[in-house]
Amino acid sequence: MGDRVKPRLYKGLRDLLPREAGARDWIIQKVKGVYELYGFVPLETPAIERLDVLCGSAGEETDKSIFRVVGPDDEPLGLRYELTVSLARVVALYKELPKPLRRYQVAQVWRADKPDKGRFREFTQFDIDSVGVPSEVADTEIIAATCDTLDALQVGSYRVRYSSRGLLNTLLTYAGIDAAMATDVFRVLDKLDRLGLEKVRLELTTGYVDESGDPIPGLGVSGAQADRIEQFLSVGSDDRDEVVARLQQLFSGVDGAEEEVDRVGAISRQLELLGYGSDKVLLDPSIARGLAYYTGPVYEAVLLDAPEFGSVFGGGRYDSLVARFLGQRIPATGGSIGVDRLLAALLYMDRVPGGRGAPEVLVAVMDRSLLDDCLAMTWELRREGIRTEMYLGRPGRLGKQFQYADRLGVPLVVLAGPEEKARGAVSVKDLREGARYAATVMDRETWTSERFGQREISRQDLATTIKELLREGAR
């Protein structure tokens, strides 16, 4: 056998055991359902991309977090760190794809960042994007689809917040800040939620020393410029129309401002028309989003009942990304659901339906000599569409088999010993009865031995009875 190998995982990675894996799949199927209702179609791209495709798209920070891949030849390769760059490559490569191209993709991505609580080096993104659409209607649709998705997942209260890079660029003009500083300024503004206004102002201007004693350099923005940025950051309101009015007033006379304010205003109006009010979507000019390639509206979503999980959705318009490959601008907008973050939040809030897809029946095996009968019952139930497992451990010891069913969350156990067989009968035990009697003083031994929730039925009624019991339990 050789030396024993430690069954270790690389740090920042994790396994999803059945309950978590089932919950993750439940999320994915729900999201897929909404995206398909919106007419988005699927696309799959490989996890490995050529390094020149990956690097230089989303900014230097992102490039640094790419895992390199070494194959049998000397090609420089990497694991994708997001799905948007691969979509841009696909759009450039298959010119025959119809446009608008509205696609969804759910897949793993990898980032070689420092792992942290709830922050993994491999995680799942679920993206929707509309490619080839300059109109803000595409942005409206992404935001609306996100609301419908979060509603379908019953996450409780949430807020989608949106703004636009156009507004932020207008802010630079308004404040008299050089456009060359845009990326740095936006990166600092993106920290507003996390650091608060005071520290953001310090980082924009003179810098400061943080709690751990590390110096945080400032960007050298003047006090007067920082005042204008603060004015902009304070236009926020729960009333989207009010935010639009304040922006119009603040940017009055600023070159190009009218068009940018009109665009975020149009999105607000369309959302209102479709029933997405301020209880779901806020126009929040402070939203910047980190990635370098955004060119227009940007958006994100947070769960109000679990804000500590951060944004579970983020995206924006990126009209220049395809041009990296094609030499020609193709307008595009879209966003990404952080499936693992959403999973963590839903599990934390206990909002994932349990037992989805788990077996409904365990056929217990009391004796190897009864194996054929157990096999026949198992397949009979499966052929009736009932999710059925036959106990494959050592036959005998019923207590152990009940315990196994209980741990797996299987509600019903089918038992047939030699006496039942002789009578043409079979017993069905409803393990949910145990939970119903849990308020009494009985321990497991008592209720198993006392045959709580156990009834004998005719063998030929097996499937019918099981179906009835499952319907009852669902009530």
Site residues for a copy of itself, 380-409, by CB under 8 A, read: 382, 385-393, 404, 407-408
Residue 126's DSSP bridge partners are: 106, 337
Could you say whether residue 306 binds a copy of itself (CB under 8 A)? no
Could you say whether residue 17 binds a copy of itself (CB under 8 A)? yes
Could you say whether residue 4 binds a copy of itself (CB under 8 A)? yes
**Shortest reach from residue 62's CB to a copy of itself, in Å:** 14
| Pairwise CA distance, residues 169 & 174, whole Å | 9
Are the C-beta atoms of residues 315 and 336 closer than 8 Å to each other? yes
Could you say whether residue 42 binds a copy of itself (CB under 8 A)? yes
Could you say whether residue 323 binds a copy of itself (CB under 8 A)? yes
Among 60, 61, 75, 367, binds a copy of itself (CB under 8 A): 75
- Interface with a copy of itself in residues 267-286 (CB under 8 A): 270, 273-275
Are the C-beta atoms of residues 221 and 184 closer than 8 Å to each other? no
Are the C-beta atoms of residues 82 and 319 closer than 8 Å to each other? no
Could you say whether residue 317 binds a copy of itself (CB under 8 A)? no
**Shortest reach from residue 369's CB to a copy of itself, in Å:** 13
Task: Provide the 3-class DSSP secondary structure of residue 111.
Answer: coil
- Interface with a copy of itself in residues 133-192 (CB under 8 A): 133, 135, 137-138, 140-141, 144, 148
Looking at residue 450, its amino acid is E
**Shortest reach from residue 413's CB to a copy of itself, in Å:** 12
For residues 102 and 165, which CB has a smaller minimum distance to a copy of itself in the complex?
102
Could you say whether residue 110 binds a copy of itself (CB under 8 A)? yes
Are the C-beta atoms of residues 422 and 372 closer than 8 Å to each other? no
- Interface with a copy of itself in residues 113-142 (CB under 8 A): 121-122, 130, 132-133, 135, 137-138, 140-141
| Pairwise CA distance, residues 382 & 2, whole Å | 42
Could you say whether residue 357 binds a copy of itself (CB under 8 A)? yes
For residues 213 and 275, which CB has a smaller minimum distance to a copy of itself in the complex?
275
| Pairwise CA distance, residues 252 & 174, whole Å | 9
Encode 290-302 in three state secondary structure: CCCCCCCEEEEEE
- Interface with a copy of itself in residues 406-425 (CB under 8 A): 407-408, 410
Could you say whether residue 5 binds a copy of itself (CB under 8 A)? yes
The interaxial angle of helices 240-250 and 257-273, nearest 10 deg, is 170
**Shortest reach from residue 360's CB to a copy of itself, in Å:** 8
For residue 100, say if its preceding peptide bond is cis, omega within 30 degrees of 0: yes
CB atoms within 10 A of CB 252: 11
Among 59, 63, 67, 425, binds a copy of itself (CB under 8 A): 67
For residues 171 and 332, which CB has a smaller minimum distance to a copy of itself in the complex?
332
The interaxial angle of helices 462-474 and 371-383, nearest 10 deg, is 60
